[in-house]
Structure formats: structure tokens, C-alpha cells
Amino acid sequence: MGPRLLLVPLGCFALLLLLPGAAEFSPSLDSDFTFTLPAGRKECFYQPMRKEASLELEYQVLDGAGLDVDFHLLSPKGETLVFDERKSDGVHTVETEDGDYMFCFDNTFSTISEKVIFFELILDNMGEDGQDEEDWKKYVTGTDLLDMKLEDILESINSVKARLSKSVQIQTLLRAFEARDRNIQESNFDRVNFWSMVNLGVMVVVSAVQVYMLKSLFEDKRKNRT
């Protein structure tokens, strides 16, 4: 069974990742989330962590004026571990202790523009490694004559799994970059079309005025004598 994602409202959003019941080769959890942060609002998320685990958090502002947001990461004791002011993206890794870590995205400095924010959580060493090793030891006995022992197989599987996880992480980040660049291009496209229409209207008006002025220069204004 894979990790389950629970959102619990506690005056602000709460993100809780529960551990799977079955043991894994290399305990590591990876999840990503995209949400819209309204102007003048602050949203917070909670992540329970174990002692001597690792929490890596990456975020990007995909859309919104300025492409910036304030970011806070607090320890279970309420200590500020990370504070980014008006940043468009960031990557932070912390060694954790038992408790709930809180991270917040703050858009209170903006009174008009909402922000679309993507973030990814990568949790390492969340399982019981010692128990996994004990489970494998009973299968290792009697394999001295084999060319490749079960420990070597396990190491190879862990290496492949780690590389696949890293590939998935990179692809997720590339999709986030692509989404942000696409939003910028669409905004520039609309802006170019708007000002092109304005310039076209000005050119039509100027041409009409020039034609009128030229015609008025060649008109015979003398009155016919009767």
C-alpha cells in the first residue's frame, strides 16, 4: 500500500503523510502538491517526521504577478529553520526530530494578485531500517557459495530505486518549470496582442487625419462670384 495523503483543516491547510504498513527496501516518500494562494492570504501545512530522518522541500511559484512568495519552515518547537522573502523558488533540506514540522506560504504582501504554487516533499529514512535488515538476514545464511549474495541484490535494487526516484523528481521539477514558462509566454502573448491592436488603431486614426489634412490643403476655398 502506498503512502496516503490527508488534508486536515486547522485554521489553515494541514498536510499529513502516513507511512505504509509494509517494509520497503529503501524507505523514502515523495509527494507533490499544487494550489492557488489568494491575495492577502497565508496557507500552512504540517508534516509529521521521525527522529534522524530527512525532510527535503522544493517549491516554485508557477503563476501570479512578480512570481514571488514568502516561505517559512518551523520546527516542532516553533523555531524558524528557513525564511525566504519574496522568492520565486527554493530548495531546503533539514535533518528532523520527532514532531510536526510546519511550512507556510505567505502572500499577504500582495493585495491584488493570487499565486499558483507548486511544492514537493521528499522524506528519507522514514522506515525502520534495522527491522528490514533483520528480515533479510534470515535469507542470507547459506549463500556464501553464490556469485552474488542477497545483500548485493538488495544493494542493486536500492541503487536502481534511488535513481528512478531521482528521475521522477527531476521530471516533476521540469514539468513545474514548463508550467511556469508557459504561463509567462501566454501572458506575454496576450500583452503583445493588446498593444498590437492599440498600435493598429492609432495608425488608422493618424492615417485618417493625414488624409483629411491633405484634402483640406487642396480644396478651393474661394467663393464663386455671381
pLDDT of residue 41: 93
CB 76 within 8 A of CB 100: yes
User: Which of 107, 40, 96 minimizes the C-alpha distance to 73?
Assistant: 96
Q: What is the pLDDT along the chain (226 residues), one digit of tens a residue?
A: 333 343 433 334 344 433 333 333 344 578 888 899 999 999 999 999 998 888 989 999 988 888 899 999 999 999 999 999 999 889 899 999 999 999 999 999 998 889 999 998 988 887 655 455 555 555 555 555 455 566 777 777 877 877 787 777 777 777 777 877 788 788 888 888 889 999 999 999 988 888 888 888 777 666 555 5
Is the CA virtual torsion 206, 212, 215, 219 positive or negative? negative
| Per-residue 3-state assignment (H helix, E strand, C coil) for the chain | CCCEEEECCCCCCCEEEECCCCCCCCCEEEEEEEEEECCCCEEEEEEEECCCCEEEEEEEEEECHHHCEEEEEECCCCCEEEEEEEECEEEEEEECCCEEEEEEEECCCCCCCCEEEEEEEEEECCCCHHHHHHHHHHHHCCCCCCCCCHHHHHHHHHHHHHHHHHHHHHHHHHHHHHHHHHHHHHHHHHHHHHHHHHHHHHHHHHHHHHHHHHHHHCCCCCCCCC
Instruction: Give dist(CA 110, CA 66) in Å, integer.
Output: 10
CATH superfamily of this structure's domain 27-127: GOLD domain (2.60.120.680)
Is the CA virtual torsion 88, 91, 95, 100 positive or negative? positive
| Longest alpha-carbon distance in the chain | 131
CB 132 within 8 A of CB 25: yes
Instruction: Give dist(CA 81, CA 101) in Å, integer.
Output: 10
In Å, what is the CA distance from 100 to each residue of 34, 42, 113?
21, 19, 31
Angle between helices 129-140 and 150-217 (to 10 degrees): 130
pLDDT of residue 71: 95
Kindly report the pTM of this predicted structure: 0.56
